Structure 1
Amino acid sequence: MTAPPAAFVKRRLDAPPGFFEVEAAGLRWLAVPGGVPVAPPLEFTATSMTTPHLDTVPPTGAAADEFGRLLAVTHAAGARWYGVPPDGWDTDGFIGTIELPHSLRPLDTWGAFYANLRLRPYLRTAYDVGTIDGAHLKVFERLCHKLEAGAYDDPAERPSRLHGDLWSGNVVWCADGVHLIDPAAHGGHRETDLAMLALFGMPQVERVLRAYDEAHPLADGWRERVDLHRLHPLLTHVVMFGAAYVPRALAVAHHY
């Protein structure tokens, strides 16, 4: 297949079934009027996806401010429930190279969703292969029980439309503003996307966060919950890359 001019083709010859299809569904779902632009899927196959080529420029403060405001609009488009997959997809998705569980029935509380679909699946995998042991698992399970009991739920928050893997590498700074790529899109808590932004470092992140908070004010204490929302990506790294990420993940679980 010949790519259109000025296009970018991402290939993965060993892609599991649905890998690029769910990514395309996520990009379409995130293409909210007035929200952050995405790199739209032009076409996809079982082993590749084509999007427009994005010419990058250095990040600026003005672009960061605009990104924060637009991300608030994307999130506010909402989702039917926590864990819901993007429209047009009805099974699990992927984050990086591993599976991302979705919920096909309504989940009313974020804590139950986060414990059962964002922490325990990866804890189970890490335990089964010996990356974490029983003592580690007890620490994480204590936090899961607190989450299920509603310790971090906020009834005022409704499920948001999340990118789901919003680290700096998936934020592309262009002349006409930020564009998003490579989502793991689902319904979740908006603090999760914001926490992910700076997990591995992102330029101008404080301006992004300030502009977002001005456009869609965050609940009191949100900065104290940042690491809680980062525990899921840390556990995915435990599964993908091994024990080097265990101490940081344990420190987060102990804290909460």
Structure 2
Amino acid sequence: MSRVFRKTLRGSGPPGGHPDFLAAEAAGLRWLADAGAPVAKVLAGSEDAIELEKLDTTRPDPEAALAFGGALARMHDAGAPRFGSPPTGFDGQLFIGRRPLSSVEYDSWGEFYARERVEPYLRPARDAGNLTAADSDAVRAACELIASGAFDDDEPAARIHGDLWNGNVLWTPSGVVLIDPAAHGGHRETDLAMLALFGCSLLDEIVVGYQKTHPLVPGWEDRVELHQLHPLAVHAAGHGPGYGTALGRAARAVLGAHA
């Protein structure tokens, strides 16, 4: 019998609660699991609580990292209908952390990413005093460039975790297990860029495992800051001015790369 980790809306949800918060997490986990991803198993769920399989953790391991990279590539390859698509069968509000996440769908990655993954968090970041006017202007200029399709490619919408920072990567005796997704249709490089942003252990080995399964498009290393705009914008909205500074710096790098 599985051991149970119980999450409640009161303990983990956004201020004031939201009836879709835990349902969105459960739907995301199931959607990623349908792609064979190594995610925490959902045992039960309701509006007020979800029960997940409780996991033991261990030290990061190179072989586990290689295996995880391959599994991540296969998860991405399972795809999504469009950029921004929510988990199949879920029509409620999505979240990233405790902040709302759009599920408006697009055929163009650049337009989707600029309009739905970066711009919505700029005003909250400005209102919180975490983003200067100069940095905000740089980010908006970068968003216009991105929305124009300057960085679009032939990559189809991938089935991404969407909040793949180091804290959501658990190293267990049976390998890596992912938790707390903000799952949606996005670009596969976004998940990898978030792993890099927050310092995931054994990232080089993860990338090697990924590349063996589905090679990344050449030049992906030069697009890391582009794909970090989203998590930086989310964090600038509520986690301090350091993230606003980093967001502005990344936006200028994106503009410079296309000068």
TM-score (normalizing by structure 1): 0.92
Secondary structure class of the residue paired with 2:152: coil
- Residue 6 (structure 2) aligns with: 9
Give unpaired runs (5+ residues) of structure 1.
Answer: none
| Shift >4 Å, 4+ stretches | none
8 A Cα contact 1:72 1:212, kept in partner: yes
Distance 1:66 1:149, change over 3 A: same
Separation in 1 of the partners of 2:248 and 2:200? 24
8 A Cα contact 1:15 1:47, kept in partner: no
- Residue 96 (structure 1) aligns with: 97
% same residue: 46
8 A Cα contact 2:44 2:51, kept in partner: yes
8 A Cα contact 1:115 1:147, kept in partner: yes
Matches within 5 A, 1:86-125: 86-103=87-104, 105=105, 107-125=106-124
Q: Over residues 20-56 of structure 1, what are the superposed CA-to-partner deviations in whole Å (9 max), with x where a residue is unaligned?
A: 00110001100135x3221121122333211011111
Secondary structure class of the residue paired with 2:67: helix
Q: Over residues 152-183 of structure 1, what are the superposed CA-to-partner deviations in whole Å (9 max), with x where a residue is unaligned?
A: 110x2000000000111111111221111110
Secondary structure class of the residue paired with 1:240: coil
8 A Cα contact 1:139 1:254, kept in partner: yes
8 A Cα contact 1:85 1:92, kept in partner: no
Greater CA deviation, 132-141 or 56-65? 132-141
Separation in 2 of the partners of 1:170 and 1:240? 19
8 A Cα contact 2:126 2:237, kept in partner: no
Q: Over residues 57-88 of structure 1, what are the superposed CA-to-partner deviations in whole Å (9 max), with x where a residue is unaligned?
A: 21111111100111111000000000011112
- Residue 33 (structure 2) aligns with: 31
8 A Cα contact 2:131 2:245, kept in partner: no
Separation in 2 of the partners of 1:42 and 1:91? 20
Separation in 1 of the partners of 2:239 and 2:204? 29
Secondary structure class of the residue paired with 2:131: coil
Say whether 1:170 aligns with 2:168.
Answer: yes
8 A Cα contact 1:171 1:180, kept in partner: yes
RMSD across aligned C-alpha pairs, in angstroms? 1.5
Matches within 5 A, 1:56-135: 56-103=57-104, 105=105, 107-135=106-134
Separation in 1 of the partners of 2:176 and 2:147? 36
8 A Cα contact 2:135 2:245, kept in partner: no
Separation in 2 of the partners of 1:202 and 1:126? 25
8 A Cα contact 2:70 2:209, kept in partner: yes
Give unpaired runs (5+ residues) of structure 2.
Answer: 11-15, 255-259
**What is the count of residue pairs matched by the alignment?**
249
Tell me how far 1:228 sits from its aligned partner. Answer: 1.2
- Residue 53 (structure 2) aligns with: 52
- Residue 203 (structure 2) aligns with: 205
